[in-house]
Structure 1
Amino acid sequence: MNATDDKTIVKNYFNSTGFDRWRRIYGDGEVNKIQLDIRNGHQQTVDTVLSWLKADNNLAEISICDAGCGVGSLSIPLAADNAKVYASDISDKMVGEAKDRALETLGQKENPTFAVQDLEALSGSYHTVICLDVLIHYPQEKADEMISHLSSLAQSRVILSFAPKTFALSILKKIGSFFPGPSKATRAYLHREVDVVKILEKNGYFVERQSMTRTRFYFSRILEATRK
């Protein structure tokens, strides 16, 4: 399966069965134990990134691009703290849900600005570019292209999360492949941290902060890279 096929599958999945599943996971309604574990893990990743950004004490002064915003789990609290947020997602259903949640939470439509847009089509210039839990859907070569493009949009900082390729996680992924189900509609790609760091450095960034979110069913390595 090539990268183009992966992209088409991701778009179709999150505009159909995947949308209903992940809207529940990223919501606050009743879910099964595995989905609850993933919800908690994803929220930990979002909370880590929020804590980094708030620690700098300049949210009201910066612009942020949230690439692959999903239902707005990160964009909405950033806007609530007065950051200027441009949020996009490949799925029009996800963006529609994000807009509804933003209106319900913030009571206005001006910020965040939401758009249905492929990551590769993003343009503009932003103080900080963030991409959480997106790279897992794409192989390393495509991920390298995405990271390079996101790096070109950032004035100061890029924050990424990805499923790290370790021996233990590779074994777990292999075991999981023997138990296919309707909820596993996209391929899950693990990425070596050294490869992600290498492409960031190639684009003029160095890793300043890092963290790891680890629950029973959710694993995410988070890197904050700033321009050299």
Structure 2
Amino acid sequence: MNAADDKTIVKDYFNSTGFDRWRRIYGDGEVNKVQLDIREGHQQTVDTVISWLTDDGNLATLSICDAGCGVGSLSIPLAQAGAKLYASDISEKMVGEAKERAEALLGNNSNPTFTVQDLETLSGKYHTVICLDVLIHYPQDKAAEMISHLCSMGESRIILSFAPKTLALSLLKKIGSFFPGPSKATRAYLHREADVVKILESNGFVIQRKAMTKTRFYFSRLLEATRN
């Protein structure tokens, strides 16, 4: 399978059975134990990003691109805090859900601005570009292209998350425990942190902060890089 096939799989999955599953995971309704674990892990990653941005004390002055916004788990609270959000996702259904959640919490507001786009067609310039839990769906060569494109849009900062390629996680993935049961619907790609850092550095960014979220079924390395 090539990268184009991966993109088609991701788009089709999150517009069909995957949409219902992940809408529940990213919501607050009843889910099974595995889904609850993933929900809690994802929320920890989102909370870390929000804390980084709010601790800087200038959130209300920022323009932020949330590439792969899902149902708005990050975009909506950042918009509530005053940042200008431009959010996109490859899944039309995910974007529709994000709009509904934003309207319920923020009213009929133009912030965040939501669009249905794949990452490669995004354009514009933003103070901060964020991409959470997207790279896991793509192999290294495609991930490198995506990161470089995101860097071209980031005027000051890039924040990325990815599933780190370590011996332990590689073994878990190999035996089928990385995404157990029915949650295993798209291929899960692990990425070496050194490779991701090298791509960021080659595009003129330097690492500022790191974090790691690790639960039973959710593993995410978070990197913040600023333009050198």
Structures share fold, TM-score greater than 0.5: yes
Taking structure 1 as reference, are residues 109 and 177 closer, same or farther at Cα in structure 2, changes over 3 Å only? same
Taking structure 1 as reference, are residues 28 and 180 closer, same or farther at Cα in structure 2, changes over 3 Å only? closer
Find runs of 4+ consecutive structure 1 residues off by over 2 angstroms.
177-183
Whole-angstrom distance in 2 between the partners of 1:179 and 1:68: 20
Shift of 1:71: 0.1
Give the equivalent residue in structure 2 for 1:59.
59
Whole-angstrom distance in 2 between the partners of 1:33 and 1:101: 24
State the TM-score, normalized to the length of structure 1.
0.98
Give the equivalent residue in structure 1 for 2:36.
36
Whole-angstrom distance in 2 between the partners of 1:217 and 1:136: 14
Task: Name stretches of at least 5 consecutive residues in structure 2 with no aligned partner.
Answer: none
| CA contact 2:78–2:85 (8 Å) conserved in 1 | yes
Taking structure 1 as reference, are residues 182 and 85 closer, same or farther at Cα in structure 2, changes over 3 Å only? same
Number of equivalences? 228
Taking structure 1 as reference, are residues 179 and 87 closer, same or farther at Cα in structure 2, changes over 3 Å only? closer
Taking structure 1 as reference, are residues 189 and 178 closer, same or farther at Cα in structure 2, changes over 3 Å only? closer
Give the equivalent residue in structure 2 for 1:76.
76
Counterparts of residues 1-228 of structure 1 (less than 5 Å): 1-176=1-176, 181-228=181-228
State the TM-score, normalized to the length of structure 2.
0.98
Whole-angstrom distance in 1 between the partners of 2:141 and 2:50: 29
Q: Deviations over 1:206-228 (max 9, x none)?
A: 10000000000000000000000
Taking structure 1 as reference, are residues 67 and 210 closer, same or farther at Cα in structure 2, changes over 3 Å only? same
- Where 2:190 maps in the other structure, the secondary structure is coil
Match for 1:102: what amino acid?
A
Taking structure 1 as reference, are residues 204 and 17 closer, same or farther at Cα in structure 2, changes over 3 Å only? same
Query: Bigger shift: 199-208 or 105-114?
Result: 105-114
Matched-pair identity in %: 80
Q: Deviations over 1:117-139 (max 9, x none)?
A: 01000000000000000000000
